[in-house]
Each structure stands twice: as structure tokens, then as C-alpha cells.
Amino acid sequence: MSENAANSIMETKICKDAIVSELQKKKVHLFYCLECEELARNIAAESDHITLQSINWRSFADGFPNLFINNAHEIRGQHVAFLASFSSPAVIFEQISVIYLLPRLFVASFTLVLPFFPTGSFERMEEEGDVATAFTMARIVSNIPISRGGPTSVVIYDIHALQERFYFADQVLPLFETGIPLLTKRLQQLPESEKIIVAFPDDGAWKRFHKLLDQYSTVVCTKVREGDKRIVRLKEGNPSGCHVVIVDDLVQSGGTLIECQKVLAAHGAAKVSAYVTHGVFPNSSWDRFTHKNNGVEEAFAYFWITDSCPQTVKAIGNKAPFEVLSLAGSIADALQI
């Protein structure tokens, strides 16, 4: 074999190897907060390349965290991720302590998965004096140290206000994902005889989601002021005879959804269901939606939420009409980016 031929065979082999390794997925070591254990296990179950790691979460007598990352040496040179859940202010500090440390343990890269970014939903910056807690949260997240892999990636699902994406500084790389594909997949499983259309409870929801759901006809609601009260009205679209799925990013007390359902039913909707990515449900407000089996017609046929808020998922269990659509597969894919 001539030298040239041998060389070109060698080059071809090198190219092939490069392509194969490109296609190989990265191995990721996934740490998680206590609340998220079930979701973490589900994520690891989705992929051979994701292994679970553990942290000792304890407290000192004064209430401050006493934390230990197990096998800290083993994660050197590895891709590492942390699955967080800021379900209340009390649990933020312990998770931030871990999040600030992991990138500095000579890891190859660091990703923070924070499915639900809280604080952004209630506040209105209307007056000087309003304190933007969403911005505080983004600032804390933006201050994560860089690792050898560069800025930390931050994976967030269906962030509430679109402008919040600009709250993050350049030291982090936010990756904005959505739970909507889980919904469309689920809707495709419903009987074709049902004419499914999508309803948005307000213009904000429409802005966030209409492009992702353009294969469905839409109904848009809006809130109008009548004297002192605010009433939900139908703005555009016709729900008559349809299975209407109300779509929003999150639910708190559920008041908005209930008002929407009434208006849709009054306009002739055959069935009404709901989807929210984040079932926040403070003070167990999900109880307003559970089927009571007392002979009264149930308002919601299905209520889909994801597992971004693990405390809610634990509380709801399997109670109709709730169904939990898991983000595990989507997160496992996002970790490969």
C-alpha cells in the first residue's frame, strides 16, 4: 500500500471516529435537592448517560445548613448538573450554597435545572418602591461561578414574563424550555371525535403560547372592568361544541381558570380541561378542582400539570382530574446540550 493510500485510510478513520464521538452523548452527573428526588430518578431513568449523585442535607442547631457533597473527587472532569426547586424562600439558601460550590470542583461543565422560576408571577413594577423579587432571584442565579466549561447553563421551563429572560447577566446561559410539547403529545392521544381547541385566559398567555399551538383553533379570553369587579369575557373564538383546553404557564389560587371555565361553558363548550406547566397551588388550592363525586357535573374533564412543582405533585397524587406530565424526558434531552 502506498504511503498516500495508507494516509488517506488513516484520515478517513480519524474522521469517522470524530463523527462517532460527536454522536456520543455526554455523561452527566445529576445532583438534586431533597424535594426533587422523584423527578431526579425519573430523569436518570430516561438515559443511560445520566447518573444520580448525592448530597447530605442536614442542619446545624441554629437552623443553617450543614451540607456535604459526596464523592466530590469523582466529579472532576465530569459534566455536572443540579436539579433545584425554590418552592419557598426557606429552601433557597441551602440549594444556592451547593449551586455556588459545584462549578468550582474542577467539573467539565455545570448546568442548573430550575424547572419553575418563582417570584415572577405576582409582582407588578408599577411604582418606585416596588421591590422586584424576580430580579433578585435572577441576580442570585447570575452570580453562579463559572466552571471550566464556561458560564453555567440554566434550564427554566415556561418563564412567566417574557422580559424576565433579560434579567440574567452574561455570566450564565439561560435555556428557556417549554412543557407544551408534552401537552400536544397528550392531546393526540385523546379520541379524534372530540374537537379540541385551545383557550388562553388572557393576552399574556396568548403571547406566550399561541405559536406553539397553532395547529389548534383558539379562543382568547380577557378580563374587563365592570365598576369595581373584574369579569372574564370571551374576546375571540367560538368554543361551542368543542373540548376546550385552557392553557397557561402556571396556576396559583385557580380563580382565573375557574372564571374562564364558566364563561366557556356558558358559550356552549362541550368539555373543558386545563393545562398549566407549573401547578403552584399555594395553600392546597388544587382542592378546588378535584372531582368530588357528589353527582354534580364536574367542571374540568382533565387538569394537566407537569412535575416542576414537586410538593404539589406529592400532595395531589392521582386525584382526578389531575394528570401529571413529566418533564423528565425533556430535561434529559436538555442536559445533552
Partner 1 sequence: MAAVSPVTATTAASLTLPQLTSSSSSPFTLNFKTDTLSSRCVRCGVRSLENQSGHRSLDFLSSGDPISLINPNSSSSPISMAASASESGAKCSKRVCLFHSDETRDLAERIVSQSDCIELRSINWKKFDDGFPNLFIQNAQGIRGQHVAFLASFSSPAVIFEQLSVIYALPKLFVSSFTLVLPFFPTGTSERMEDEGDVATAFTLARILSNIPTSRGGPTSLVTFDIHALQERFYFGDTILPCFESGIPLLKNRLQALPDSDNISIAFPDDGAWKRFHKQLQHYPTIVCNKVRMGDKRIVRIKEGDAEGRHVVIVDDLVQSGGTLIECQKVLAAHGAAKISAYVTHGIFPKSSWKRFKLDTKGDPAEGLSYFWITDSCGLTVKEVMNKPPFEVLSLAGTIASALQV
Question: In angstroms, what is the minimal distance from the CB of 102 to partner 1?
Answer: 9
The residues near 73 (Cβ < 8 Å, ≥ 6 apart) are none
- Cβ nearer to partner 1, comparing 127 with 228: 127
Rounded Cα distance, 216 and 165, in Å: 27
Question: In angstroms, what is the minimal distance from the CB of 107 to partner 1?
Answer: 12
- Helix ranges restricted to H, 174-327: 180-188, 203-209, 255-266, 310-316
Question: In angstroms, what is the minimal distance from the CB of 94 to partner 1?
Answer: 6
State the amino acid at position 320 in one-letter form.
Answer: A
- Cβ nearer to partner 1, comparing 181 with 282: 282
- Cβ nearer to partner 1, comparing 16 with 139: 139
- Cβ nearer to partner 1, comparing 91 with 175: 91
- Cβ nearer to partner 1, comparing 101 with 175: 101
Question: In angstroms, what is the minimal distance from the CB of 60 to partner 1?
Answer: 4
What are residue 32's DSSP bridge partners?
Answer: 83
Question: In angstroms, what is the minimal distance from the CB of 125 to partner 1?
Answer: 10
- Cβ nearer to partner 1, comparing 184 with 311: 311
Tell me the CA distances in angstroms from 247 to 91, 117, 160, 208, one per residue in order: 29, 18, 13, 10
Question: In angstroms, what is the minimal distance from the CB of 147 to partner 1?
Answer: 15
Rounded Cα distance, 285 and 274, in Å: 15
- Cβ nearer to partner 1, comparing 138 with 332: 138
Question: In angstroms, what is the minimal distance from the CB of 292 to partner 1?
Answer: 23
CB count in 10 Å sphere of residue 4: 8
* Chain contacts with partner 1 (rule: CB under 8 A): 60-73, 87-94, 96-98, 100-101, 105, 118-119, 121-123, 127-133, 135-136, 139-140, 143, 252-253, 280, 282-283, 285
Buried b or exposed e, range 80-114, using 16+ CB within 10 angstroms: bbbbbbbbeeebbebbbebbeebbebebbbbbbbb
The grid coordinates of residue 279 equal 401547578
- Cβ nearer to partner 1, comparing 61 with 296: 61
Rounded Cα distance, 333 and 145, in Å: 24
Rounded Cα distance, 25 and 303, in Å: 35
Question: In angstroms, what is the minimal distance from the CB of 333 to partner 1?
Answer: 29
Tell me, rounded to whole angstroms, the distance of Cα 111 from its chain centroid.
15
Please name which of 233, 309, 318, 304 lies closest in space to residue 274, comparing C-alpha atoms: 304
